[in-house]
Each structure stands twice: as structure tokens, then as C-alpha cells.
Structure 1
Amino acid sequence: MKVARYYNNNDVRLDEIPKPTIGPGELLVKVKKSGVCGSDVLEYYRFAKMKKLGVDNLILGHEIVGDIVEV
């Protein structure tokens, strides 16, 4: 599974991560399109604070369109 991962303001990478497993009451969506909106842009300003808490990267995008592949 590919993700756009934000490491810092000058470093956004396309990374490969394992396919997530789902639990009861959840579903798995194969994302076809994902938007990056204003709340993602705000991470640009918040990331320094998050690094102090031990967060070293973020996966961007949450407004998605896709197909349900597992229920």
C-alpha cells in the first residue's frame, strides 16, 4: 500500500506500508483518489510541536474516494 508520508516541510515521500487489517464493524477501502485539504496544510505549522512529542512523520490525506474491498 502506498502512502504520502510527511517527514518535514521539505520532505514528503511516497512510501510503501503493509496492508492494514480490519476489525469487527470496520471495512477496508482501496483508495482511488485522496485530497489534501486545509487541515493537512495546518500540519506544516504544527509539526515542530508534534516532533517534541515523538511523532516523526504523518500520513497525509483523508478526503477519499475508493472501492470497499473487505467488510
Structure 2
Amino acid sequence: MIETIVIGLICVFWAYLGRYRRLSWGFGAAMTILFVFLAIRYEWGNDYRQYIDKFTVYNSIDEFNYSDPNERWEVGWIF
């Protein structure tokens, strides 16, 4: 979690400096740092394993029975 805070503070700092004409590239740098950070965080986080397990189960099902009261489908996440 500390990595997220540090990266976020760095991005806020560069985005703030991007409002000055001499450092107008700061906002672009902040977005690039944020993009790279979000793109490489594979297998990272406390609930990653649970989501990958759900994805595997949902991917193997041919048809969902939404009317079954014993199942709790996350419809928005499935789509």
C-alpha cells in the first residue's frame, strides 16, 4: 500500500508543477507514471487471488442462472 501512496504523491506533485509554463510537461509525466504503475501491477493486492478465482469460475460457465437464490452473481463484474 505504501507504493500506491508514494506513486500517487509523486503524480500529484508533477501534475501541480505542470500548471507552470516552464514545466508544462509535468502533467504528461504524471499521467505516464500513473499509466505505467497501473499497467505493471499484475498479481498485486490483497484480493487479487479471489478475483482471479472468480474469473476462472465465471469463464467456465456456459449459462448463468440469475434466478437461483443460492447464487450471488455480480452481474456488472461478469459483463
TM-score normalised per structure 2: 0.25
Richer in strand (by share):
1
TM-score normalised per structure 1: 0.27
Q: Which has the higher contact order (CA 8 A, sep 6+)?
A: 1
Higher-Rg member (1/2): 2
Richer in helix (by share):
2
